[in-house]
């Protein structure tokens, strides 16, 4: 299973990558959204894990652009990564197409 991870913190990115790799997932780690979008447009994948707080481009913009790539991409799960638990943050994740929140 190919998985895209977008996380600006190098430490968190390495940790998430190691955990998912140990679960036999093929992981594409990226530090910001545009990198992930560039790769997503050229390679099919099975899951997205996107930090809610990204540099250069918001997580909501990344999600919107993924869903605009076509019907196939709308079916790929998007897991939003956040340490925030306030209702506004969670609602924002759901409205942009998150299928789960970590």
CATH code for the domain in which residue 55 is found = 3.40.50.2300
Question: What are the backbone angles phi and psi of residue 62, rounded to the nearest 5°?
Answer: -60, -50
- Structurally, the chain folds into a number of domains equal to 1
Range of the domain at 56: 2-101
C-alpha 28/C-alpha 6 separation (Å) is 9
- Strands 2-6 and 26-30: what pairing? parallel
Q: pLDDT tens string for the chain (102 positions)? A: 899 999 999 999 999 999 999 999 999 999 989 988 888 888 888 999 999 889 888 888 888 888 788 777 778 898 988 887 778 877 887 887 888 888
DSSP 7: -
**pTM of this prediction?**
0.85
């Amino acid at each position: 299973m190919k998985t895209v991870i977008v996380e600006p913190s190098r430490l968190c990115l390495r940790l998430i990558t190691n955990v998912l790799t140990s679960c036999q997932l093929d992981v594409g780690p990226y530090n910001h959204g545009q990198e992930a979008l560039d790769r997503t447009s050229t390679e099919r994948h099975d899951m997205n894990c996107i930090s809610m707080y990204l540099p250069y481009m918001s997580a909501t913009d990344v999600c919107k652009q993924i869903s605009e790539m076509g019907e196939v991409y709308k079916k790929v799960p998007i897991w939003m990564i956040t340490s925030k638990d306030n209702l506004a943050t969670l609602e924002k994740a759901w409205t942009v197409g998150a299928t789960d929140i970590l």
